[in-house]
Amino acid sequence: EPTVVVDIGGTKIAVARVENGAISERHQIATPRTGHGSDLTDAVAATVRKITAQPARLGVATTGIVADGCLTALNPGTLPVENNYPIVAALRRRVGVAPLAVNDAQAAAFHESRSMSGTAKRLAFITVSTGIGAGIVLDGQLQTGHHGLAGHAGHITVDWSGPLCGCGRRGCVEMIASGTAIAKRASDVTGRDMSAPAVFAAAYQGDEQCGKVIEDAVSALAAMIADLVASLDLDVIRLGGGVGLVPTFLNRLRDTMERLPPVYRRPIEPARGGAEASLLGVAALLDEKFL
């Protein structure tokens, strides 16, 4: 009876079998963006069954706020779902085992902290993907908060008069630097329908409008990271997510951080867990019997 872990993102859902801390089988599907949690759990249950009829243990890392076994979108634009959708109870019914559920970036931060030796144990994992997520580990302790909100740094304000975010505030980093925001902002300025990878390709080819969109995203993220360093005295930042793992993006972010006053600078490293950081993190949390 295997351990099965799930990563529900705004764009895709990954389901994997984990053996001895490593992924031995992996399936990926598109996230049903219907606004109904039941469609998420149906899709997860069907994909889990491709691996096993009865997992011994089930772990779920998901975009959104997880508290008391329920899922709520902070920004429904990143993934729409009912408020307080009882994801743990629904999956227990559909799969037959009660899952451990945690926010995706929080899970990834836990994995990153386990892959870190020595004393550097105050870190943020930041994912730049459909949205912008963050997870924080302080002195070895994963921070979830009593409301599941800890680490939601994608909703730090970087532009008071910026675009309205689905969370209800204006100018959140997520509205300027997420993959969704990069695609939307470039589509708006160029008048062409562009995906985030297309914006990177165009910027690389010298397109100035697309270059400016990426520059704004990098500046917003650098401000967000400096705010996190100022408030938490982090030792290191680990960067993940489909956009965050693009090497040119990481390099530009490092260059921008270099121009900040030294007190705000910290090493920025690619996530050791790469695209699997959330899956591996929730597996590690199962091992620790977290929650």
Residues near Zn ion, by CB under 5 A = 155, 165, 167, 172
Task: Give every strand in the sheet of 132-138, ordered side by side.
Answer: 141-143, 132-138, 123-128, 236-240, 268-270
Quick check: 150 and 126 in contact, CB under 8 A? no
| Cβ neighbourhood burial of 11 (10 Å; 0-12, 13-18, 19+) | middle
- Residue 3 partner contact from Zn ion, ligand BMX, none using kind-dependent CB cut-offs of 5 to 8 Å: none
The phi, psi pair for 177, rounded to 5°, reads: -120, -5
Q: Smallest distance, Å, CB 61 to ligand BMX? A: 9
Q: What does the binding site for ligand BMX look like in residue numbers (CB under 6 A)?
A: 9-10, 63-65, 73-75, 78-79, 103-105, 127, 129-133, 152, 154, 174
Tell me whether residue 28 or residue 54 sits nearer to ligand BMX (CB atom): 28
Tokens of 281: 């993190």
Tell me whether residue 9 or residue 131 sits nearer to Zn ion (CB atom): 131
CA distance 150 to 106: 8
- Residue 165 partner contact from ligand BMX, Zn ion, none using kind-dependent CB cut-offs of 5 to 8 Å: Zn ion
Q: Smallest distance, Å, CB 93 to Zn ion? A: 32
- Residue 69 partner contact from Zn ion, ligand BMX, none using kind-dependent CB cut-offs of 5 to 8 Å: none
Tell me whether residue 153 or residue 186 sits nearer to ligand BMX (CB atom): 153
- Residue 172 partner contact from ligand BMX, Zn ion, none using kind-dependent CB cut-offs of 5 to 8 Å: Zn ion
CA distance 263 to 277: 28
Tell me whether residue 133 or residue 207 sits nearer to ligand BMX (CB atom): 133
- Helix, strand, coil percent values for the chain (each to nearest 5): 40, 25, 35
Tell me whether residue 37 or residue 131 sits nearer to ligand BMX (CB atom): 131
Q: Smallest distance, Å, CB 71 to ligand BMX? A: 8
Q: Smallest distance, Å, CB 179 to ligand BMX? A: 7
Q: Smallest distance, Å, CB 161 to Zn ion? A: 14
Quick check: 203 and 213 in contact, CB under 8 A? yes
Secondary structure class of 241 (helix, strand, coil): coil
Tell me whether residue 44 or residue 167 sits nearer to Zn ion (CB atom): 167
Q: How many residues does the chain have?
A: 291
